Structure 1
């Protein structure tokens, strides 16, 4: 009996490893990494480049990571370097990344096992926030339908505009319209133009639909599902706290971002200074939306004032809604940190938001995600400042853009050394997965304490 027990005990480390590998956070990271590596392998082939030459591992990895993490930062010009196959692969990687890793994992599990384990259900619920465990299958279907519907509408608008107003042939208009529709809704920022969307700076029929698609993707699927439910059940008027926080903070950030960027660049001759009032308002709105992690630009970002870059840094770091295609720490995290600070300033023992008491676990998750994200961005900024010749404005903008999976740049991405490219690649990956996996891990890891130590209060301030 002792021999049998000892032999059984020898498998415990292996069983422990298998249990850890089945943790939702590991599944999320592993799934994303697998897609990135697969995309890298295809992009390295000679058929993926226009010149028919193989692409180096560093550039292929950077491009694949930027596409899967729906960032939009590039080291090789998308329009001139990649072949038709390369562009299709980039578009497919954007779609996979934007679809959301939780939805992707849910589909795989449904196909293989036709049911969810408790851990996967809880993880899926964490990603989809207000949705119950029994609705996961409908979540996956809803995510797909919303994505395809918005992309189809935007593609139709872009195709018609490019063909009827800009003189594109119908096949070329279809190619450009579909690609930019996928890129816009998924907040990717990849463009088939060397100047992004600068050539359409005075065309509201291009800029406004793209901006609206970016907002739609950045709201998050729980918001869209709740809107759909209210449309079906008009008598139900109770909105969830998640919906109210996301919608309210989004409107506030869009208004503040548009106003600040427009006013700060109003007289800058290199950006908005030479435009008419209508043109200033149009491009100011467009650039107020893009830091939600889209990455398109209709103005030269490198010519913006340092104050504008700082405002854009803040907007990029915050990002968009949870369980959507946007990156950043998410608007809910930003709002929750603000609510916690307001309660502390007022000396209240608990945090109350819109008629509800805020869960302590949610407060801890928001503070952990925000502070760890700030620390990561600062460390990467310090490393790049120490290894490159670029200014603080440029480097901070680049690192925040990478972490927030935005894709905006002052033009230094391609000029970074190999260490810089690898660091930005890692930051894009962490920025896309970090807030999700960290929040999920914190939600699943709740441990009780059997005893408390004596209390002592240090001096603060």
Structure 2
């Protein structure tokens, strides 16, 4: 079946337009004098950067969130974060339904049978499900944090609730905003602060399709969809594998993990690994980490979290599918298989397209920033990958990039947030058949 390009692109255009409109509205609100502590206007580039960072749930900041913005400004950022996180989960899940509905009856039934998710007519159920997951995780995290801020740090009830809610929302949406100048470095030794935040980030990075599967058959892993198995399996490997490598690399670094006890070093390693999945909060000074750790973080940030989640990156399913393709090629197998399921060639091409397009975006952004700024490649690359992966971690150079550099990062955040989602949907919907095939030829490879 062949579809017109206008029909193919309409869902993606709606998503892009909606997020653009919210970012512009947030920019206008943050430009108001009431949004700033001193009552002065913020430059439009800084307001745009902050709004885009919030809506794209990134967390990179050119201004001190707690010191520059008033309570009104902080609430605006909080609302933008919530809209961005909830919106991307809902829209990505709905786009998945649109994709399954446009693939034809047989393909749609196969897709729904494999994923065991919702049908094309269940948009309301998708939104309700996303809302329930968001509310439960954020409320539980906020409650734990509120109690800890009250009992451990003597915060009044109102202030403790505000801090708990803000950081619970920031963590679950993988936004990475914090109300302290040093992110949460002051709590590096507090397991009751770091662990709930890390777990909330992980929960937000799984995606609603995984929760839909777990809700129906969480006791029967054999009945889980291939998507759920890949997402959960790869997330666990990247989370704990990344924590192990980061902890080893930073174990004796006197400026990060060195002064901590062995137990707290392990906690800090786990926390940083979780935050590279798109969380963005930091419990140690990221700018003082080893270059090797930056490189490992670059890889984790680029891969990102699960599909239809609040996290960014190319997504763990894309990364896993490319791994299965390589494995099948090395074995000389005619089909790419995963979990006793054959992966469609169209899906393989989609994964390759998204990965290479993402590499192109990162390389282009890095090249432009290298031309605009005096910073070294390792720091610039970290900043670019963090922006594209909507992570929010920084080596400390974000505020020094200048207006032009900030616009580059803003574009990367927007493309990184919506690019893989909309590109994946557009590629899946762009199904065409030909009545002929060209003769085959084999150019040399390698």
Q: TM-score, normalised by structure 2?
A: 0.93
Determine the structure 1 residue equivalent to 2:138: 151
Alignment of 1:268-417 (within 5 A): 268-417=253-402
Q: CA deviation at 1:91?
A: 0.4
1:385-411: CA deviation from partner (whole Å, max 9, x where unpaired): 122110111000000000000000000
SS in 2 for 1:133: coil
Q: Which consecutive residues of structure 2, in runs of 5 or more, have no partner in the other structure?
A: none
Q: CA deviation at 1:348?
A: 1.0
Q: CA RMSD, aligned part only?
A: 2.4
Aligned match for 1:131, one of 118, 121, 142:
118
Q: Distance in 2 between matches of 1:333 and 1:432?
A: 15
Determine the structure 2 residue equivalent to 1:452: 437
Determine the structure 2 residue equivalent to 1:230: 217
Determine the structure 1 residue equivalent to 2:239: 254
Q: Distance in 1 between matches of 2:7 and 2:331?
A: 42
Q: Distance in 2 between matches of 1:312 and 1:86?
A: 31
Q: Which consecutive residues of structure 1, in runs of 5 or more, have no partner in the other structure?
A: 1-15, 110-116
Q: Distance in 2 between matches of 1:265 and 1:118?
A: 45
Q: Distance in 2 between matches of 1:266 and 1:367?
A: 36
Determine the structure 2 residue equivalent to 1:426: 411
Q: Distance in 2 between matches of 1:22 and 1:418?
A: 32
Q: Size of the alignment, in residue pairs? A: 435
Distance 1:174 1:44, change over 3 A: same
Determine the structure 1 residue equivalent to 2:155: 168
Q: CA deviation at 1:119?
A: 7.2
1:21–1:27 Cα contact (<8 Å) kept: no
1:200–1:206 Cα contact (<8 Å) kept: yes
2:89–2:207 Cα contact (<8 Å) kept: no
Distance 1:159 1:189, change over 3 A: same
Determine the structure 2 residue equivalent to 1:68: 55
2:81–2:170 Cα contact (<8 Å) kept: yes
- Point out the structure with max Rg over C-alpha: 1
Q: TM-score, normalised by structure 1?
A: 0.90
Which one is further off, 186-195 or 20-29?
20-29
4+ runs deviating over 6 angstroms: 117-120
Distance 1:355 1:444, change over 3 A: same
